[in-house]
């Protein structure tokens, strides 16, 4: 029950309900809570792993430790949730969310390459997170943890991001839009009765 109360308080802080309380938690605790909450706002394709909902963590023992405290007894989409420390590319199999710790993009290339072939929500923590294939990237400024979302990367991973999560993101990288040929539009309008 204590974990449940903690996740509710963290979720409230994360989505701006209780901004003053957010300063009580470490950045790693906030990131762990975000990782857990992201699962509620993402739709995975039918071929995603079934059974236990797995949040993988590469190169961040502190975030993995926070998830170890948070996840026991918790469910995601009706399935038990667990954390897995990612040490080699084969550890990515069966993962739903993969968090790559701050400053470790170079060390995790093999993990990210494997994840790119699977329906995995890749969460990065780096200025070049989107360039590295991240769907969600954490941003830290003045003791606040925010995130940005790449819909382009979400499409590649075959994930659908709920509009409620997009609404609270600091930035959303949108899909390219088709351009309308204005010169052609004018010609069509001029010919039309």
Domain locations along the chain: 26-191
pLDDT on residue 4: 43
Q: Taking the domain 26-191, which CATH number applies?
A: 3.40.50
Q: Which residues of the chain have pLDDT under 70?
A: 1-23, 177-193
pLDDT on residue 184: 52
- Longest distance between any two alpha carbons in the chain, whole Å: 70
pLDDT on residue 8: 43
pLDDT on residue 141: 82
Question: DSSP labels for 116-138?
Answer: TTS--EEEE-STTTTTTT-SEEE
pLDDT on residue 178: 57
pLDDT on residue 11: 54
């Amino acid at each position: 029950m204590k974990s449940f109360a903690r996740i509710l308080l963290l979720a409230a802080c994360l989505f701006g309900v209780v901004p003053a309380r957010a300063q009580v938690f470490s950045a790693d605790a906030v990131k762990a809570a975000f990782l857990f909450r992201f699962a509620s706002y993402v739709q995975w394709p039918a071929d995603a792993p079934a059974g236990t909902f797995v949040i993988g963590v590469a190169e961040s023992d502190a975030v993995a430790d926070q998830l170890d405290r948070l996840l026991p007894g918790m469910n995601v989409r009706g399935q038990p949730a667990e954390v897995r420390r990612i040490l080699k590319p084969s550890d990515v199999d069966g993962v739903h969310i993969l968090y790559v710790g701050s400053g470790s993009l170079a060390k995790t290339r093999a993990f990210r390459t494997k994840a790119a072939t699977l329906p995995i929500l890749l969460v990065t923590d780096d200025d070049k997170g989107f360039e590295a294939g991240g769907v969600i990237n954490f941003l830290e400024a003045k003791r606040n943890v925010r995130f940005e979302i790449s819909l382009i990367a979400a499409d590649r991973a075959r994930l659908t991001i709920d509009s409620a999560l997009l609404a609270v993101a600091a930035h959303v990288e949108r899909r390219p839009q088709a351009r309308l040929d204005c010169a052609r539009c004018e010609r069509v309008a001029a010919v039309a009765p």
